[in-house]
Structure 1
Amino acid sequence: MKSPLLSKVLLSAFSLSILLIINGCGKTDTTTPAVLATLTTNGLIVNLTSTGAQSGGVITNNGGADVTAAGVCYSSSNQTPTTSDSKTSDTPVTDPAGTNSFTSTLTGLTAATTYYLRAYATNSAGTAYGVVITFKTNNVTGINTTVSTLAGSIAGGFFDGSGPSALFANPQGVVADAQGNVYVADGFNNRIRKITPAGVTTTYAGDGNAGFLNGPAATAEFYAPQGIAIDAQGNLFVADLGNNVIRKISTAGVVSTFCGNGTRGYVNGADTLAEFNNPQGLCVDASGNVFVADRSNNLVRKITAAGVASNFAGSGAAYYFNGTGSDNSFNGPKGVAVDASGNVYVADAGNYSIRKITPAQVVTTVAGSPVQTTIVGTPAGISIDSKGNLYITDQGGRILEITTSNILYILAGTASTAGYVDGTGTAAKFSSPQGITIDNKGNIYVADYNNNIIRTVTGAIQ
C-alpha cells in the first residue's frame, strides 16, 4: 500500500506534466522565416576598357538573415544571368545610411562585346537578383584625350596677357559662353577674368581688392569668388564666397548683388533677406533660376530670376541620405550643373559622390558613396553638355566623364597624383582641379587650382 506522501508526490508530478503539455500546446513560434534579400544593381559601369569593367550593387534589406554571398553575375549570351554564369564574389560594406554596398571588378572580357549584368545576394532563403543592365566593352585600349595649357603659369600671380604670360592665383570656377570665351573666378586675385578662344586673358570685373563693392566692373570688389555661371542672355553670376552673397555681372559690365545680405547663415527669402554660408558652385537653368551649392550649410539652394532664395534640397546636416525635399542630406557640396530637363547634378564632395535632384526635388545617387570613395574621388566641379554627358573634376587629380549610357570614363589624370604635365589621357597631371566647363565645340576647360593654370581637355566621349 502506497503511503499518503508518495501519493501526493505522484499526483503533483502528474498535474505539472498536464500543465506543461497544455502550456506547450498554446505557444506559438514567433521566429520570422527569412525571405530573399532586396538589392539593386549599380546603374553605372566604371573603368570600362576592352577587357574589363567595374560594377556592383546595394543591399537594402538582408531578408532577415545573414547574406552569405554577394556580387554580380554576367554573360554575353544569357540576358538574365544567374550565379551559374560568370560571377564575382564581393564583401558588402555598410554606409552611413545603413545600406550595404559592394564593388565588383570584372576581368577577362572580350572587346567590342555586349554584356548582361545584375547584382546578386544569397541568404538562407535563396539568391535574389537586381535588375539587369547592359554594357559594351570598348574596341580600343583607352580613351585618347589631349590635355594642354590654355592660359596661366605655375608661378601664379596677376597679369593680363596671352597664353602662359597671363597669371592667375588659385582659379576656382570656369564657364564658357556661346562664342567660346572662358570666364574664370580668379579666387585669390579677387577678380573675374576672361580668356578668348585665342588664349588672350583680360580682367572682366574686379579691382583686385578683397572687399564688397557694386558698380562698374572695373571698380567693383569681390572677396574670393568661387563658382561662376552664365545665363542665356550672357549675364554672369558669381558665388562671392568671402562675402556670402551671389553677385551678378550684366552684359553692360555692371556688378550688382543678386541675392544675399552678406551675413553668414541660413535664411530663405527675397534678395536682401537671404543668407548663405560659403556658397561655392553655381548653375543657371533655362528659366533663369540660379542653383547654389551652399557648401557650409550642406544644402542646394534655388534662387528665382526675381532673386528669391529657397531650399531646393538637403536637411542641413552633413550626412548621406537620399529622399525627397529636405528629407535628404549632403556633405559639403561644391559644384552643381543643370540639364535641359531641369535635373540638378551635385558634386557632393564630402560624400565622395555625384547626386541628382529631379525637378520634383527627389534626390538619388548617380555615382560614388561614403564607402565607395574611389569611383569619383572628391568631386569639386561638375558640368553638363547639350547631350546630357556629365564632366567632373576629382580633386585628387582626375577629369571624369559620365556618359548618357551610364559609363564612367577617366578622361585625364591619375587619382591621388598631383603635378603639372600636359599630354595624353592619364599621363597628364593636375593639382587639385576645381571648376570645369565645356563649350559648344566639345572643348573642356579646367581650373587647375594649385597649378594656377586653366587647362584644356579635348577628345571626350560625346
Structure 2
Amino acid sequence: MRLCRATRDLVAPIVGVTFLACLLVSGCGGGGGENAPGVTASISTGATTAAGPSTAAGSLQSGGLVGDLMGTGNPEVGSAIRILRVVVGLDPQPDADELWQWNCNNSGGVEVGDAISLLRCVVGLDPWPIVVAWTFTATPWDEKAYSSPDGVLTLDMPWYAVDTTTAITVTATTDCPADPGLVPGTVYDYEPDGLQFGSLPTLSVEYDPANIPAGTPETSLRIAKVVSDAWSPLPSTVDTDAHTVSAEINGFCVIGVVGQPTDPRFVSKWTVVDGVPLDAPSGICVDSGGQVYVADTGNDSVVVTTPAGVVVTRYPAETFYSLYPTAVAVYGAAKTVCILDKANGRVVRCTQQGLRIDDLHPAYALGQASKAMALDGNGFCYVPVIETNSVHVRTWEGEGPFTFGSEGYGDGQFHFSNAVVGIAVKADGTIYVSESNRLAESGRIQMFTPGGAFIARWEPAAGAAVSVTKPGPITFDSAGNLYVADLADCVVKKYSAAGQFLGKWGSYGTEDSQFKDPTGIAVDGNGYLFVVDAELNCVQRFSP
C-alpha cells in the first residue's frame, strides 16, 4: 500500500513519538534533561527557528518559549522526550507556574499531543515558535481580574468595561514595529481589534529583566500600543521587584512593553545648585557666553550656572522686593537679564550680576501673564497675557509698540486659559506662539509677522517623519531651527526652517534623558540643548 505525501508527513512524527515512548518506558533516556541513546538533541531541518529568548512568542515566563524545555531557543527532540517521560510517568508533572512551557497544543495539560506538536516544528511541518492563544469571555457585569495560564498577563476588568458579552483572544506576536527599547516576549495581539472600553481595564504584563535591552533603565518601561505603525507609550506603573508594568488601556490592538534607552547625547543633569535643590523650575535661557539662567520658581529666585550646573550667582527675591519667576531671557552685548514675575504681573530687568534696573512701566502692567516670555534682538519683550488672550509687546522706554490677538480658536486668536503657552521670536522677527490645552492631547503653533499679523499655523513639512501633537515651550537656535517640547510624549523635537524633522531628545520617565514636565528649553551657541523640568526639579543638558 502506497501512502500519499500528506499522510506520510503526518505519520512520520507519530511513529517517531511511538518509538521514543517505547524507549522511555523501557527506562532508556536517563534523567529528564538527557537525551535517549542514539537520539540527537537538535535536528537540522528547514523549520523556522527562533533566535533565542529575545523572540519569545508563547510566553515570557523565565524568558523562554513554549516547548523550549532544553533552553536552546529551538525546537528539540530532547524537549519532546521530556514531555513523553512525564506522559508515561517516568518524570513528575511540572509545577503549575511552569505548565505553560509544556503546553504545546494548548490543551492545558501534558500529553502525547504536546510532543507531536513539538516534533512537527522539529521536522518543519509547523512554524516555530509555537504560538498559544489565551481566550476568555468578558461580560458587562464583570468585576474581576483575568490572568493568562502562565500568569504573565493580567487584565483587570471593571464593571461595564464592555457593553455586551465579548469573547477575547490574546495571542503572542512578533509582528510589530521595531524599537530599540522593545522588551522581547511582551508583545501580544489583543482581539477583537479596535474594541473600545466604557470603563478602562488595567493591563499588567510580567517581563523578564534579562530581556530588557542594554542601556534601557527598567524604570523607563511603559505599556505601549501600536498606533500608525509606531509605538505609543501609555502612562504606566513599573514594579521593579515583581518585574511587572501596568497601565489603563482604552482599547484593543497590538500592545507590548517598551522602554527608553538612555540618549547617548545626554551630557549631564543637575537638581541642586549651591546646596539648594531646584524647586519647580519653569524657565531657562543661555547667554552668548554659555551661562545658563534658570527661573527657580519654587525658590522665588533666578539661579545662574555654568553649562555644567556650577553656580555663578543667584538673584534672590529680596533684590526685587518680591519675585515669582516663571521665565527668563537675556539680550544685548551687556547681557541684560529680563525676568517674568508672574505673581506681580511684571517683567523685571536687571544686570547680569542681578542688580535691578527697572520694571516695565507700571501704567502698562501685564495683569495675569502666562508663564512664557520672549525677547527679540532689540530687547522688545513679548508676553502672552491670559486675561486678554493676547500677546503684549513692550519696550523699556514707555508704552509698547502693539498688542495682537483676541479670544477664540480661530486663526490669529488665542485661548490661554488653562493652557500651556510658549513663545519665541525668530531672527527675522517672525513671532511663534504655541498653546495646548492642559486637559486635551492637542494644541497648535501660530506664526505672526513682526507687526503681529497672522501668517499661518506652523506645521511640519509634508512627509516629515515626526509630527507635534501638544506643543509646549518653543525656541530657536542660531541657524533658525525650531525646537518644540511636545507634551504628549515628553519629547523635544527639532525642525528645520522648512519644517523638516531633524531629530528628537528624551521620552516620558524619571531617568537620565527623560522628562515628565518639560517647562522650558534653550539652545546655546554650540547647539547644546538644555531642558528644565518642573516635576523632576532638574536641568538636563544634551549634545547636538
TM-score (norm 1): 0.54
Q: 2:340 aligns to what?
A: 239
Q: CA deviation at 1:258?
A: 2.1
Q: CA deviation at 1:354?
A: 1.6
Q: Normalized per residue, which structure has more strand? A: 1
* 1:435 equivalenced with 2:536 (yes/no): no
Summarize deviations over 1:362-401 as a string: whole Å, max 9, x none: 2221038xxxxx9433333111011110112233411111
1:337 is matched by which residue type in structure 2? A
CA distance in 2, matches of 1:184, 1:222: 17
Q: CA deviation at 1:341?
A: 0.8
Q: 1:143 to 1:430 in 2, by over 3 A?
A: closer
Q: 1:143 to 1:411 in 2, by over 3 A?
A: farther
* 1:172 equivalenced with 2:282 (yes/no): yes
Out of 435, 441, 444, the residue aligned to residue 529 of structure 2 is 444
Question: Is the Cα–Cα contact under 8 Å of residues 436 and 445 in structure 1 kept in the other structure?
Answer: yes
Question: Is the Cα–Cα contact under 8 Å of residues 143 and 411 in structure 1 kept in the other structure?
Answer: no
Q: 2:93 aligns to what?
A: none
Larger relative contact order (C-alpha < 8 A, sep ≥ 6)? 1
Q: 1:321 aligns to what?
A: 410
* 1:389 equivalenced with 2:478 (yes/no): no
* 1:228 equivalenced with 2:325 (yes/no): no
Aligned 1:283-294 pairs, distance under 5 A = 283-294=374-385
Q: 2:302 aligns to what?
A: 192
Aligned-residue CA RMSD in angstroms?
A: 3.1
Gaps of 5+ in 1: 1-48, 51-103, 108-141, 154-158, 208-212, 214-218, 260-269, 369-373, 423-427
Q: 1:151 aligns to what?
A: 270
Aligned 1:277-288 pairs, distance under 5 A = 277-288=368-379
Gaps of 5+ in 2: 1-176, 179-226, 231-260, 461-465
Q: 2:20 aligns to what?
A: none
Question: Is the Cα–Cα contact under 8 Å of residues 398 and 410 in structure 1 kept in the other structure?
Answer: no
Question: Is the Cα–Cα contact under 8 Å of residues 282 and 292 in structure 1 kept in the other structure?
Answer: yes
CA distance in 1, matches of 2:263, 2:498: 19
Aligned 1:248-327 pairs, distance under 5 A = 248-251=349-352, 253-259=354-360, 270-309=361-400, 311-315=402-406, 317=407, 319-323=408-412
CA distance in 2, matches of 1:246, 1:450: 24
Q: 2:21 aligns to what?
A: none
Q: CA deviation at 1:249?
A: 1.3
Summarize deviations over 1:307-336 as a string: whole Å, max 9, x none: 423653211x2x32114xxxx334346221
CA distance in 1, matches of 2:493, 2:403: 26
Aligned 1:368-383 pairs, distance under 5 A = 375-383=467-475
* 1:160 equivalenced with 2:274 (yes/no): yes
CA distance in 2, matches of 1:376, 1:143: 22
CA distance in 1, matches of 2:428, 2:262: 29
CA distance in 1, matches of 2:323, 2:470: 25
CA distance in 2, matches of 1:440, 1:336: 20
1:401 is matched by which residue type in structure 2? K
1:322 is matched by which residue type in structure 2? D
Question: Is the Cα–Cα contact under 8 Å of residues 245 and 279 in structure 1 kept in the other structure?
Answer: no
* 1:343 equivalenced with 2:434 (yes/no): no
Summarize deviations over 1:270-305 as a string: whole Å, max 9, x none: 543433213321121122211112245322110124
Question: Is the Cα–Cα contact under 8 Å of residues 268 and 308 in structure 2 kept in the other structure?
Answer: no
Q: In the comparison of the two structures, how many residue pairs are matched?
A: 277
Q: 1:201 to 1:252 in 2, by over 3 A?
A: closer
User: Which structure has the larger Rg?
Assistant: 2
Q: 1:361 aligns to what?
A: 452
Q: 1:295 to 1:398 in 2, by over 3 A?
A: farther
CA distance in 2, matches of 1:254, 1:189: 18
Percent identical pairs in the alignment equals 25
CA distance in 2, matches of 1:367, 1:143: 29
Q: CA deviation at 1:255?
A: 1.8
SS of residue in 2 equivalent to 1:228:
strand
Question: Is the Cα–Cα contact under 8 Å of residues 206 and 221 in structure 1 kept in the other structure?
Answer: no
